[in-house]
Structure 1
Amino acid sequence: MGKDPNSSHRVAIKCCCDLTNQAQHIEAIIEKQTSIQIARNHLRLKTSIDVIKWLTFQACAFRGRDERHESNNRGNVIELIKLLASYNEDVAAVVLENAPQNASYHSHGIQKQILSIFSDKIQRFIREEINDGKFCILVDESEDESKREQMAIVLRFIDKYGFIKERFFDIVHVLDTTSATLKEEICIVLSRHNLSVQNIRGQGYDGASNMSGEWTGLQALFCAECPFAYYVHCFAHRLQLALVRASKLVISINQFFSYLTRAINIVGSSCKRHDQLRAAQATNIAEKLAIDDEFETGKGKNQIETLKRAGDTRWGSYFSSICSLINMFSATCAVLRNIINDRSKLNQRVEAHGVYDSITSFEFVFILHLMRDIMEITDDFCQALQSKSQDILNAMHLVSTTKILTQKFREGGWVPLLEKIKLFSNDHVDSQLQELNNMFKEDVMELPVLSSTLDPRDGYRSFKIEDICKLANKFYPMDFSEQEKLHLKYQLENYKLDISILPEFQKLSTISELCQMLAKTKKSTSYPLIDRLIRLVLTLPVSTATSKRAFSVMKLIKSKLRNRIEDGFLASYLITYIEKDIARGFDVDSIIHAFGITKERQVQLKMPNFSK
């Protein structure tokens, strides 16, 4: 019986050995097989995530026209996955045709889900940055390629390190642009992320009536609910409009811009003339290179360009238009002469002849160069006003500088000279100052004026304890308790003595730098009330440049070829693209974890729990 291999004794010994060999246990075998499959799923999903992230950062399309296996171009996602697979055997073994049908992780639905995870994490990151602090809303609306009205929402706030942040937060499709509709949609977005309307301390919009209306505008509706959500009309927009309106009051300047627009329109009206313009410019550059050894070439210097059109609400467009005509003046005149000599188009010959005579006159050329010098200064101001880190006090300083330059223009001997050639007069300069004063009225500037007492320039020359206390009592009464308002005065007195002996506080030039220094030196804990007040002042918006840039990006993403992008996908794409600096910091495993939370993904991406 002992020699029988099937004896009960031998079977018992075999069962005992199998029982003690845990590697052969069924749960171990299942776990090993499952872990291999999960690792393959992770690698496949990681590849898709990297592809989608790269395409989003580059504002590229995802889908292809024909994504079938036999297609020569299956779309950016699949083609990029194929490229990665060609460089990595492990990736090639788990993606596309080698992936199971229920876990390929590159379908259109998966692409949108992954992008949505990125945008959700970015919004949570911004929400954590704001924490319980006060913030400002910057809003603008525009029509997209599919004729749907979109509203961009940007949040401005001060982070824990004292830096001003303007974060693109969301874009929402609105059925109409009435102030009530806009407010309702904004409140829905804020409440979705637990951001209270009562914490809004600033509103930044353009000058449209539905936004800035005193009684029924968007700013008025928010002020009715939160009286301390102060509205600031975009400084760069106001400065641009003031200069445009003032220039139109001078007949010669108004005519100049009219001829400038006509010249650009007629020369750039067709592809043929555009080619002629570039050819003439190339010939002109070649001639200058042949006779002038010091003629500069290279990146950004004397390149073959094109004429640029101007628009009243596009900041800096007038300056760019003037510079482009100066750079291509000879080529523009050459194209106009070609049109004049073309006998096949009589009507265009007449118009071209009139434009040619106008732009070659002494008066036009003189104003062309004069306006270039003037608008170069204002363009620098507009660019500075659009900086994300710009604060309200520095913006006021830039506007004041514009007024001072206008005043010096009158006092510097230019006006008598220009009067002789009948271009300018003292009345024209006065009208310029009047427009600037109208755009920046003193009655709406009381808050910035009182805030200027915190300005660290010139050894804190503007520092006035009484005005700072008035600022807190009048404009931010709900942000300080009655006891804190009384204590603020004593804290300011100690603060004044302290900063006068600290060298790191002596070379600050903006209030935003002061806020950063308070956080860096831990003085914000010694003077918490002052730090709180400074942060409230910095919350006030200066421009709506960030929301404007969002619409520029939207034109790249929702183009003519991609005009059917749905609203949710568009919002996720824009948030991820614009705030890519945040998205770059996300670990791939965190994206995979968020993706695997859904019930249908748990089996594919998580290890089983055998303890249950």
Structure 2
Amino acid sequence: MEKNRHVLKEIIKVLLLCARQNVAIRGHTEERSNFIVILKLKSENDPILREHLSAGKDRATYLSPQIQNELIDLCARQIRDTLVTACNSAGCFGFIADEAKDCSTSEQISLCVRFYDRSTGEVKEYFLGFVEADSTTGEALAETFLNTLEEYGINVNNIRGQGYDGAANMAGKHRGVQARIRQRIPYANYTHCRAHSLNLAIVHACKEPLIRNLMDTVQTIAFAFDYSAKRLLQFKESLELDRDVKDAMDRKTKIKTLCETRWFSRVDSLTTFLKCYDVIVAALEELSEDGDSKARSHVCSILQFDFIVALVTAEHVLAPTNPLSALLQAKEQDLLEAVKECQAVISILQAERADDTVWEAIFSKCEEVGTTHNIAASVPRVVGRQQHRYDIPASDNQEFKREIQRWKARWADVVDKPATLADSLRAIRTPELYPNVYHILEILLSMPVSSASAERSFSIMRRLKTYLRSTMTGDRLSSLAVLHSYRETDIDLDKIIEKFAAKKPRRLVLQ
């Protein structure tokens, strides 16, 4: 029995190594797979394992893909059970979900939970796994979400917040996922992902014709340099000749392309383009002289004063959105702090819009950039009638009340009051004194600010399920994703073996 358990432990260790490091377990042939090769390497210094592998078909080797899936699933469940226990002990939690297609065109749904951990005094957001969706209607997705959470062992009646993007099937008022879930759990309030809302606001603002044309031009030129070795080499040579720009680029040697989905990240691309504007012009002119017809059209499009004005202004206006976006995607962020930070950015932009000195500084910078290339400041032609402008003027109530009064009196003479919801909860040393206040703060903290945790899990999915591993099943993908996400988490191998042995009769004696 001890020998059998030792062999199975070594098999599990290899599977965990591959899963945690995102190494493909199987290969085109089993004999040459990473799993078998690593086991054989370990067996060189392990006579018990070597004897087991050399036995071949005479005995159960426990190396088959079916056994691999069982062991991987048991390891992932051990981690997930720990997360579920912590979530259930919190009393209330927020639910976050998002969907994306994998490389085999299957619709994968990422399931995450958010709650306040009383033991550590911190807000936690945990990825629980993927589940394949047979249908993407609001009714089908809501049913899938709740059934899967119950399968994991989560008490779904404790949901107090839902966080999704603004897609109709998720956010629909009557037939969306959030509405369907609220029919069963009325207190599960829906929050539109704040990072997604910020992204939509920037998309809407960038529909202004000058900014829209700017984005198209910057993207076209970035692609022109990115996908041509000759043009990229010319850019690097021009960059070497301008030491000031090279230092400002901070060792970057390429123009950053615009992200098609995350518009708030475009400020980095615009900043890079503005820093190396002179180098880009020089490189395009050199390419034009060498007979590159596209380079000639590109250089003509950026040697315009209206392009420079749009570039400088857009880069300046979008600059505050990048730190705001990073803040909104933080796991420990709460809704109240998110609103405060959003209001701060709005206040900055409103104040700058009414400040003539800001516009004078922007215009001076535009003139400075234009003067280097003999571009005179000019006002573009406007039509007589502009109809689509974006900037046209334009329990017992009495007991609860007494508890609130005590809560206010508690902080009346305190100078250093808690700055965040989490700080307020940590300050309540005895929750029994303020049970309602404590529970309200817990609910507020559990309500999702963004669906960033779910979106991050899709990065894991794309690393795991590549075109070389496109036949991977949904269950195996979900388990591998959990093991890869929590690769620092220890696995109790003895418990895994006990569950494996108890699952059904085994040929080898394990307990």
Residue aligned with 1:157, SS: strand
Aligned partners of 2:138 and 2:169 also within 8 Å: yes
- Is the 1:315–1:382 contact (alpha carbons within 8 Å) kept by the matching residues of 2? no
Matched ranges for 1:542-561 at <5 A: 542-561=449-468
How far apart in 2 are the matches of 1:371 and 1:353? Answer: 25
Correspondence 1:486-501 to 2 at 5 A: 486-500=398-412
Q: CA deviation at 1:287?
A: 3.6
Q: Which amino acid aligns with 1:592?
A: I
C-alpha separation between the residues in 2 aligned to 1:149 and 1:124? Answer: 25
How far the C-alpha of 1:544 sits from its partner, in A, is: 0.6
Per the alignment, residue 476 of structure 2 pairs with: 569
Assess, with a 3 A threshold, how the Cα gap between structure 1 residues 514 and 432 changes in structure 2: closer, same or farther.
Answer: farther
Q: How far does residue 533 in structure 1 lie from its aligned partner after superposition?
A: 1.0
CA–CA distance in structure 1, aligned partners of residues 414 and 79 of structure 2: 38
- Supply the AA of the counterpart residue of 1:47: E
Aligned to 1:129: 86
Output one character per residue of 1:467-487: Cα deviation in whole Å (capped at 9) or x when no partner: xxxxxxxxxxxxxxx23x432
2:171/2:178 contact within 8 Å kept = yes
Q: Deviations over 1:253-275 (max 9, x none)?
A: 2221121122223333x4xx1x2
Amino acid corresponding to residue 237 of structure 2 in structure 1: T
Is the alpha carbon distance of 1:230 and 1:51 closer, same or farther for their aligned partners in structure 2, counting shifts above 3 Å?
A: same
Deviations 1:144-170 (A, max 9, x none): 100111111111122223321111123
Counterparts of residues 278-317 of structure 1 (less than 5 Å):
278-288=232-242, 301-311=250-260, 313-314=261-262, 316-317=264-265
Q: TM-score, normalised to structure 2's length? A: 0.86
Tell me how far 1:180 sits from its aligned partner. Answer: 1.1
AA in 1 matched with 2:422: S
Preserved CA contact (<8 Å) 2:219 2:257:
no
What is the alpha-carbon distance in structure 2 between the residues aligned to residue 528 and residue 433 of structure 1? Answer: 50
Query: Does 2:315 match 1:367?
Result: no
Task: Confirm or deny: 8 A CA contact 1:267 1:336 kept in the other structure.
Answer: no
Q: What CA deviation, in whole Å up to 9, does each residue of 1:38-68 have, x standing for no partner?
A: 2222222222222221221222211122233
SS at match of 2:30: coil
Sort the Cα spacing of 1:421 and 1:116 in 2 relative to 1 into closer, same or farther, 3 A: farther
Give the aligned partner of residue 112 of structure 1. 69
- Once the two structures are TM-superposed, the CA of residue 234 in structure 1 deviates from its matched residue by 0.7
Query: 1:318 maps to what in 2?
Result: 266
Q: Distance in 2 between matches of 1:114 and 1:511?
A: 41
Question: 2:122: which partner in 1?
Answer: 163
For the Cα contact (< 8 Å) 2:334–2:447, is it kept in 1? yes
CA distance in 1, matches of 2:502, 2:87: 26
- RMSD between aligned alpha carbons? 3.2
Matches within 5 A, 1:443-592: 482-483=395-396, 485-500=397-412, 506=416, 508-518=418-428, 522-581=429-488, 584-592=489-497
AA matched with 2:252: Q
- Give distance in 2, aligned partners of 1:528 and 1:517: 13
1:398 deviates by: 1.4
By how many angstroms is 1:204 displaced?
0.8
* AA matched with 2:504: K
Compared CA separation, residues 217 and 227, structure 1 to 2 (3 A): same
The separation in 1 between residues aligned to 2:206 and 2:22, in whole angstroms, is 39
Task: State the alpha-carbon separation in 2 of the partners of residues 83 and 502 from structure 1.
Answer: 64
Counterpart check, 1:198 vs 2:157: yes
Higher mean displacement: 536-545 or 161-170:
161-170
Following the alignment from structure 1 to structure 2, what is the Cα–Cα distance between the partners of residues 433 and 142? Answer: 38
Q: 1:97 aligns with which of 29, 45, 54?
A: 54
Q: Which runs of 5+ in 2 are unaligned?
A: 364-376, 381-385
2:5 maps to what in 1? 42
Question: Would the aligned equivalents of 2:162 and 2:447 in 1 still touch at CA under 8 Å?
Answer: yes
Q: 1:79 to 1:154 in 2, by over 3 A?
A: same
- 1:276 counterpart = 2:230: yes
What's the CA shift for 1:282?
3.7
Q: 2 CA distance for matches of 1:320 and 1:590?
A: 49
Question: For the structure 1 residues 197 and 91, does the alpha-carbon distance in structure 2 shift closer, same or farther, using more than 3 Å as the test?
Answer: same
Structure 1 residue 188, shift from structure 2 partner: 1.2
**Deviations 1:241-291 (Å, cap 9, x if unpaired)?**
112212323x322221121122223333x4xx1x234423443454456xx
Q: CA deviation at 1:556?
A: 0.7
Give the Cα separation in 1 of the matches to 2:171 and 2:451: 13
Alignment counterpart, residue 178 of structure 2, candidates 219, 235, 251 = 219
Q: Aligned residue for 2:371?
A: none
Taking the aligned partners of 2:305 and 2:41, their CA distance within structure 1 comes to 61
Quick check: 1:44–1:105 contact (8 Å CA) kept in 2? no
Structure 1 counterpart of 2:347: 404
Aligned equivalents of 2:458, 2:330: Cα separation in 1: 17
Task: Tell me the amino acid that sits aligned with residue 136 of structure 2.
Answer: T
Instruction: Say yes or no: does 1:183 pair with 2:107.
Output: no
SS at match of 2:96: strand
Deviates more, 1:530-539 or 1:59-68: 59-68
Larger Rg: 1
* CA displacement at 1:189 relative to structure 2: 0.6
Asked whether the equivalents of residues 308 and 321 of structure 1 are also in contact (C-alpha less than 8 Å), the reply is: yes
8 Å contact from structure 1 (residues 203, 230) kept in 2? yes
**Alignment-derived partner of residue 146 in structure 1:** 104
The structure, 1 or 2, with the larger RCO (C-alpha pairs under 8 Å, 6+ apart) is 2
Distance of 1:156 and 1:562 partners within structure 2: 31
8 Å CA contact 2:235–2:283 kept in 1: the answer is no
Distance 1:137 1:371 in 2: 36
Provide the secondary structure at the position in 1 that maps to 2:163: strand
CA contact (8 A) 1:277 1:332 kept: no
Pick closer, same or farther for the CA change 1:555–1:315 going to 2, 3 Å. farther
Letter in 1 for 2:355: G
- Contact map agreement 1:307 1:328 (CA 8 A) in 2: no
TM-score of the pair, normalised by structure 1:
0.73
Deviation at 1:561, TM superposition (A): 0.9
Contact 2:19 2:483 survives alignment (8 Å)? yes
Q: Distance in 2 between matches of 1:556 and 1:432?
A: 44
Partners in 2 of 1:315 and 1:91 — Cα distance? 57
Code of the residue aligned with 2:207 in structure 1: it is K
Confirm or deny: 8 A CA contact 1:392 1:538 kept in the other structure. Answer: yes
- Counterparts of 1:243 and 1:395 in 2: how far apart (Å)? 17
- Contact persistence 2:411–2:417 (CA under 8 A): no
Residues 101 and 180 of structure 1: is their aligned pair in 2 closer, same or farther, counting only changes over 3 Å? Answer: farther
Distance 2:22 2:271 in 1: 30
Cα distance, 1:315 vs structure 2: 5.3
1:281/1:498 Cα in 2 relative to 1: closer, same or farther (>3 Å)? same
Tell me how many residue pairs correspond in the alignment: 490
